Structure formats: C-alpha cells, structure tokens
Amino acid sequence: MASVSVRKETNTLYLDFRYMGKRCREQTSFKATIANKRKMEKLLTTIEAEIMAGTFRYVKHFPESRLAKNFSDNELELHQPEEWSERQNQVYVPTFKEFIHSWFEYQKIAWRKSHIANIESMINKHFLPYFGEMEINNITRNDILKFRSVLAKVPGRNGRTSITNNRINKIMDPLKRIFEDAAEEFNFITPYIRIKPLKIIKSDVQPFTIKEVNRLLESVRDDYKDYFLIRFFTGMRTGEVDGLKWRYVDFNKRIIKVRETIVGGEEDITKTDSSIRDIQMSQPVYDAFLRQKAHTARFGKFVFCNREGKALNHNNVTKRVWYPLLAKLRLEKRRPYQTRHTAATLWLAAGESPEWIAHQMGHSNTEMLFRVYSRYVPNLTRMDGSAMDKLLDHNLEIRYAAY
C-alpha cells in the first residue's frame, strides 16, 4: 500500500508506492511537518489515480529520478487501462544488480563520504561480479557461503596471500543488510541466516616505551618533530591529526577540538559521535603547537600541511618518513597508528583517570581501555594480591591495636 514516510536521518518525507510491479521510493526535501505530509498524501492520491487510469508518467512527477529512465520506454508502449492494471499487479523480482543500485542510492543519504566510497567499492569489486545477474530471491545461503570462500582467496595487501578475516567480515556485514531489505521488500525469507562472523585475531597493539618515544623524537626530521610529538602525546587518530585545522586549536583553553577528519584525501566528519571531543594539551603539546603555528599558519587552514597548504598525505608520510625512521633506529616495523596506542599506555602508566583517558581517546566508555591496554601497564593490574595484602595488613593492625 502506498504511503508517505519519514526518513529518520534527515527528518524529511519520502513517497513509497508500487508501479509496474516495482516498489518505488522517491525522496523529497520536505520536512516532516503536518502540512507537508498532507501535501504529499494529496500528491500520492493523484499518482495512484493516474496509475489506475493508465495515464501516469514517471518523468512527469519525478523528472530527476533515476527510476524515470527505467520506466520511460514501457510507459510509451502501454496506453489502455487494462494493460496498465495487468502490469501493475505483476510481482517483479529484480536481479541482485538491479536491486543493489536502487538500494545504494536510497541508503547513502545517511552515510559519511568515506563509508559511501567503501560500500561502493565493495559493490563493484565483490558483490556484482558474483551475485550481479542472479535473481535476488533465488540466491541461497549456500551461494553466500561460497561467496565468502571466494573472498578468502582474494590477495591481501603488502604481499599477503589473502585478505584478513576481519576484512572478510566487514565485506559480509553490508551484504546481510542488503538481503534483509530485499527480503522485506519482495516478501521472501532472507538467505543470510546462521552465518557467523569469522574469528578475528586480536589486534596487534605494540605501544612504544617512553625511552623509544624520546629516541624517535630526537632522530626524526626537524619538520616532523612536532607532528609526531603531538601524535604521541594526544592519542589522535591519523585522519584526525592530518585533518586538524587551526580553528580547532584553542590556545587560551589549551584544548584541541576534534571535529573533523580526513579519509581518502577528503574532509569528512569524525568516525563516531564519541570521537567528537576536546583533548587537553600537556605543556609539550602546547609548545609544539606554538612552534607549528609559526611554520604553517600562513599556508592556510591545516595545522600540518605541505607548501601548497594542502593536508599531509598519510601514505607519503608513512613511507618516506615513518618507516625509514624505524629502520634507522632498528625498531620493529609498526604502523604510525601505534602512536595512539602509546598515548593510552603512557597515560595509564602515569596514573591518569581511566574515564579521562577514554574521553581523550574518543572512546564511549572505559571497556576498550582496560581490555586492550591494561596489560601493558603492570602496576595498573598487578594480579598478585599485593594490594589486598596491604589493605588487610593495615586494617588488622588497627584492630589489634584496640586490644
């Protein structure tokens, strides 16, 4: 049944109706007010009447819609009401390729730019080559399991023979949502059932010691000393520090406002809602920002940039500065992201409040903090009973002193 619905992400109205055996959803720019909903319901009544009469033309009502092009040829062929009625009552089930394109267009309005690019890459590189020409309601659970086994044979990065289980799970996650939405729309049981995620090896957390941090900062190129100092002592993610703008550096309050990031060379919003935060500057970090301001403020909006004022390319920094530095100091090869892990362990070792650290890191709670980092700080979790011994000794002494 046709309806006017509200898209929660944008609080705007969209029309949902069936036409020539297909489900059609057309987004509007109207906010979800009572007046606008009545207006859209009136339009929908007109559309339904025209469909029944055989006079409806998609392009007339939705000239900019991608669906209008799909319907234009058939609309010209059919003129008699009975022909329209017969076509309207047909239940049309699309191929995976046909469904995924409309699904993607409908979903991406609520996604970040980086997520849109990631999902689009999965669709073109993995989903379409395997499922593209299959009718979506005929795809079975066994087809999906075979697809996952094919993914396991895809070559990985840096010479790896295959992609990781973690990457396979991330490719499979949107596929589950796709089949759930298709099953709901075309009234069949989703084939994505009883498919558990592959087991993932725990993330390789290899923080640097404070001695190693000092060695790195003493040996790195002068033009990158403050860049890495700030990374080591703020715990900022790569995209956050590379996309940091001067307007988010508050020297008066001594805070860094994490509000944006750079992903794939494009400015974007932060990774999660909890990633939006204010990081307090320690004195070394404050001094580093002052020095950096003298060097790059004149080039433009980014704190760390090239001479053209553009944000740093993290792949370039990693290959030309970071890895050669580790090799020079004969330190184990580690990603620059380990600077973030280092900040967390140094804060813990210094005795900072776990809640404060979690906020600085952009975590929603302290769970990850203790699960991932506490093992690198022996004094934080002794696990030898010595703390309880001291507590009991102190209380027993007081008790016996009373006799």
Residue 367 pLDDT level (bands cut at 50, 70, 90): confident
- The rounded radius of gyration (Å) of the Cα atoms in the chain is 29
Asked whether the predicted pLDDT for residue 203 surpasses 70, the reply is no
Residue-range domain boundaries for the chain = 3-89, 96-186, 210-366
Q: What is the pLDDT of residues 140-149, one digit of tens each?
A: 999 999 999 9
Q: What is the pLDDT of residues 298-338, one digit of tens each?
A: 998 999 998 889 999 999 999 999 999 999 999 999 999 99
Tell me the residue length of the chain. 403
Q: Note whether 267 and 245 are within 8 A (CB).
A: no
Q: Note whether 195 and 144 are within 8 A (CB).
A: yes
Asked whether the predicted pLDDT for residue 384 surpasses 80, the reply is no
Residue carrying structure tokens 């730019």: 113
Residues forming beta bridges with residue 258, ordered by sequence position: 277
Q: CA-to-CA distance for 185 and 90, rounded, in angstroms?
A: 14
The side-by-side arrangement of strands in the sheet containing 12-19 is: 3-7, 12-19, 22-31
Q: Enter the pTM of the model.
A: 0.64
- Enter the tokens of residue 88: 């309207």
Q: CA-to-CA distance for 242 and 267, rounded, in angstroms?
A: 10
Which of the two residues, 371 and 222, has the higher pLDDT score?
Answer: 222
Which CATH number does 210-366 carry? 1.10.443.10
397 φ/ψ sector (left φ>0, alpha ψ -120 to 50, else beta): alpha
Report long-range pairs for 318-321 (Cβ below 8 Å, ≥24 apart).
Answer: 321/220, 321/221, 321/224
Q: Helix (H, G, I), strand (E, B), or coil: what is residue 370?
A: helix
Q: CA-to-CA distance for 44 and 21, rounded, in angstroms?
A: 17
Q: What is the pLDDT of residues 76-117, one digit of tens each?
A: 555 455 555 555 555 567 899 989 988 898 888 888 888 888
Which CATH number does 96-186 carry? 1.10.150
- Enter the tokens of residue 360: 């600085």
Q: Find, among 291, 295, 243, 292, the residue nearest to 264 by Cα.
A: 243
Which of the two residues, 248 and 387, has the higher pLDDT score?
Answer: 248
Q: CA-to-CA distance for 2 and 23, rounded, in angstroms?
A: 9
Q: Which helix (H) or strand (E) holds 121?
A: helix 113-122
